[in-house]
């Protein structure tokens, strides 16, 4: 065979090559294509599935309680009273407070990583922030219960009372460490990585030309950052915040473990609260009556709706924030 091929003119080699190849078959191609298409459509179907399952599950609760479900503050499953307001309040307050704590830290870190830090330090720190994102929520919750919580009434609460005590937010008894503030701190830790890394991407996408122009005017490092970089990246950083907010609203385990799980609306941040996600986590498995379960599914629907809207908003901000500033004159 060897000699035959080597000696023979190309024509016979071509003949043997062609004869050995399998004939072209369209069916395998079509099959694979449809298989892949099915999977891609499956992802879209999953979106529909989530929405539909929550919607249909929440139907009876919506019928029974109407809009009042969102505005009533009584949550008493034994009496059959279901009002989601305390959870909405708790979710909003803890998330916004967490966001308020996390944003300056995250943006500061992002600026440090892209503009100020020496080169050798950038990768390691960025890596560590990404690793922070990898810590499972339940582990952070465990750490918070046993390490962080005992410290709060001893150091943080008295300090806050002393400095900010004139605000109703920081008044009232401070005996329990399970509180809105504890939840906010945990949420802040959990959303730091995402705000940092998205802000960092945004800052990195600012063209170097901008920086060079500012340096050329004799600006200092910080002035370059403020004038050339931050003003350019404002919208994007706002998008990063909104993305962080979306994540904060859905945080479940660690928050459930430290927020105290009390369906009451209290003015003081030292008081325990409850969030949409944590009421589902705590009570769903024990929801024995249909009403109870449907009310919890309705809570899930609210959570789902809010996070979807927030995420879409963040997506828009990140997309258009960037293209608009990109086209700056």
Q: Where in 65-94 is the site for another protein (CB under 8 A)?
A: none
Q: Per CB under 8 A, does 15 bind another protein? A: yes
- Find the part of the chain contacting another protein (CB under 8 A) among 60-68, 162-170, 264-272, 299-307: 299-307
Nearer of residues 38 and 68 to another protein, judged by Cβ? 38
Instruction: Spell out, one character per residue from 200 to 239, where the chain touches another protein: x when CB under 8 A holds, - when not.
Output: -xx--x--------------xxxx-x----------x---
Decide: 269 and 168 in contact? Cβ < 8 Å. no
| Rounded-to-integer distance, Cα 312 and Cα 307, Å | 8
Nearer to another protein, 36 or 100 (CB): 36
In whole angstroms, what is the distance from residue 171 CA to residue 169 CA?
A: 6
Contact residues for 34 (Cβ-Cβ < 8 A; gap 6+): none
Q: Among 241, 308, 252, which Cα is nearest to 90's? A: 252
Q: Shortest Cβ distance from residue 67 to another protein (Å)? A: 22
Task: Name which of 34 and 167 has its Cβ closer to another protein.
Answer: 34
> 126 or 160: whose CB is closer to another protein?
126
- CB 156 to another protein: min, Å: 15
Q: Which residues of 31-64 are buried (b: 16+ CB within 10 A; e: fewer)?
A: eeeeeeeeeeeeeeeeeeeeeeebeebbebbeee
Q: How far is the CB of 188 from another protein (least distance, A)?
A: 9
Identify which range of 47-55, 60-68, 157-165, 172-180 contacts another protein by CB under 8 A.
47-55
Q: For residues 284 and 282, give the distance between their C-alpha atoms in angstroms, rounded to a whole number.
A: 6
For the bound state, the minimum distance from the C-beta of residue 96 to another protein, rounded and expressed in Å, comes to 17
- Identify which range of 122-130, 174-182, 208-216, 262-270 contacts another protein by CB under 8 A: 122-130
Q: Which stretch binds another protein (CB under 8 A): 21-29, 66-74, 79-87, 159-167?
A: 21-29
CA end-to-end distance (rounded Å), the chain: 70
Q: Which of 50, 62, 85, 213 binds another protein (CB under 8 A)?
A: 50
183 touches another protein by CB under 8 A: no
Establish if 106 lies at the interface with another protein (CB under 8 A).
yes
Q: Please name the residue ranges forming H helices in the chain.
A: 2-7, 10-20, 26-65, 68-71, 85-111, 119-134, 137-143, 149-151, 157-164, 180-204, 208-216, 221-223, 231-250, 253-258, 276-283, 290-326
Q: What is the largest CA-CA distance in the chain?
A: 99
């Amino acid at each position: 065979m060897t000699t035959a091929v080597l000696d023979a003119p190309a024509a016979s080699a071509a003949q043997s090559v062609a004869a050995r190849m399998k004939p072209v078959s369209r069916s395998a191609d079509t099959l694979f294509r449809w298989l892949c298409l099915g999977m891609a459509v499956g992802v879209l179907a999953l979106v529909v599935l989530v929405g539909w399952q929550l919607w249909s599950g929440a139907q009876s609760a919506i019928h029974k309680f109407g809009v009042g479900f969102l505005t009533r503050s009584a949550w008493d499953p034994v009496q059959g009273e279901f009002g989601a307001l305390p959870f909405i309040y708790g979710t909003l307050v803890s998330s916004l407070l967490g966001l308020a704590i996390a944003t300056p830290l995250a943006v500061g870190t992002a600026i440090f990583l892209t503009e100020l830090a020496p080169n050798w330090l950038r990768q390691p720190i960025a890596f560590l922030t990404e690793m922070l994102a990898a810590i499972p929520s339940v582990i952070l919750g465990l750490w918070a219960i046993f390490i962080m919580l005992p410290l709060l009434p001893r150091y943080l609460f008295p300090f806050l009372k002393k400095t900010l005590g004139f605000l109703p937010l920081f008044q009232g008894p401070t005996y329990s460490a399970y509180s809105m503030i504890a939840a906010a701190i945990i949420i802040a830790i959990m959303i730091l990585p995402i705000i940092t890394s998205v802000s960092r991407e945004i800052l990195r996408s600012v063209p170097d030309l901008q920086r060079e122009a500012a340096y050329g005017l004799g600006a200092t490092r910080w002035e370059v950052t403020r004038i050339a970089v931050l003003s350019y990246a404002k919208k994007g950083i706002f998008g990063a915040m909104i993305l962080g907010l979306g994540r904060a609203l859905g945080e479940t385990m660690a928050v459930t473990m430290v927020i105290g799980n009390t369906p009451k609306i209290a003015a003081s941040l030292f008081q325990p609260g409850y969030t949409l996600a944590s009421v589902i986590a705590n009570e769903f498995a024990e929801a024995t009556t249909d009403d109870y379960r449907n009310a919890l599914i309705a809570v899930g629907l609210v959570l789902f709706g809010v996070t979807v809207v927030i995420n879409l908003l963040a997506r828009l901000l990140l997309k258009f924030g960037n293209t608009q500033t990109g086209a700056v004159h």
